[in-house]
Structure 1
């Protein structure tokens, strides 16, 4: 009987430094996307004569800007993590997000992770020794360093195989 190994050990978790790098890179990407949307709105306005979108952007109040930022952030994280298990930040740091069954997360988990990022003071949830924030623990996901995680899986598979070979004797 082969044992299914659950939950990566804390050794495989992405370090707090890598998690911070993920945040910084992803924030920069979101700012770039926002800038590109502004350019896109200008192009539509200038060249296609559709001025409504540009006027709407220019006249956004603080609440509308906040709402736009939240929606863009939710969209970015949800789509990236649901489709690839990674964001641009995670690609840069060679980390990925997995669920309790050590599989790629599904759309629901990705959306819940994204929503949890909006919890006030969520960033302080990383101050514990485990290094998992609320946007990890609530949807039951883990951000792991791919290299460390793969090494851990190989060791565990070797131990499982050793146990299987011993039982056959």
Structure 2
């Protein structure tokens, strides 16, 4: 079980963030259609983006063990024993990704906060 470095994590983050942003933007524009034509309540983009981050990572990591970014970089999420993470670990990872300070813990722990607190690792597939 070889833990991946920062380069693979940057690829994962970039690919996944682009996909999440595209999905959230589509939902945002769909909502704007209803706002314009049916006078529904307007919601700003971030109210689509942040829930989409949580849903995206929770679904992909719970059911497939990896997100599209991890498929591209040939990595996967594992617990400390090298097994698939439990669902509560995936939920915690997804929730902690929403915090602004998550990435700054790479300096302290050599991994982001969502890996450290959920006791998971991103390893080579």
The bucket for the TM-score relative to the shorter chain is 0.7 to 0.9
Superposition deviation, residue 108 in structure 1: 1.2
Superposition deviation, residue 77 in structure 1: 0.6
- Number of paired residues? 123
Q: Which runs of 5+ in 1 are unaligned?
A: 1-7, 46-50, 147-169
If you compute each CA radius of gyration, which structure gives the higher value, 1 or 2? 1
Q: Which runs of 5+ in 2 are unaligned?
A: none
TM-score, L = length of structure 2: 0.84
Output aligned runs, 1:88-107, within 5 Å: 88-107=68-87
Question: Secondary structure of the residue that 2:111 maps to in structure 1?
Answer: coil
User: CA–CA distance in 1 between the matches of 2:47 and 2:81?
Assistant: 34
User: CA–CA distance in 1 between the matches of 2:17 and 2:104?
Assistant: 17
Q: Is the 8 A contact 2:77 2:121 kept in 1?
A: yes
Q: Which residue matches 2:93?
A: 113
Question: Secondary structure of the residue that 1:113 maps to in structure 2?
Answer: helix
Output aligned runs, 1:70-85, within 5 Å: 70-85=50-65
User: CA–CA distance in 2 between the matches of 1:33 and 1:131?
Assistant: 30
User: CA–CA distance in 2 between the matches of 1:74 and 1:40?
Assistant: 20
TM-score, L = length of structure 1: 0.64
Q: Which residue matches 1:131?
A: 110
User: CA–CA distance in 1 between the matches of 2:55 and 2:69?
Assistant: 15
- Please state which structure has a larger fraction of its residues in helix: 1
User: CA–CA distance in 2 between the matches of 1:79 and 1:134?
Assistant: 20
Runs of 4+ aligned structure 1 residues displaced above 6 Å come to none
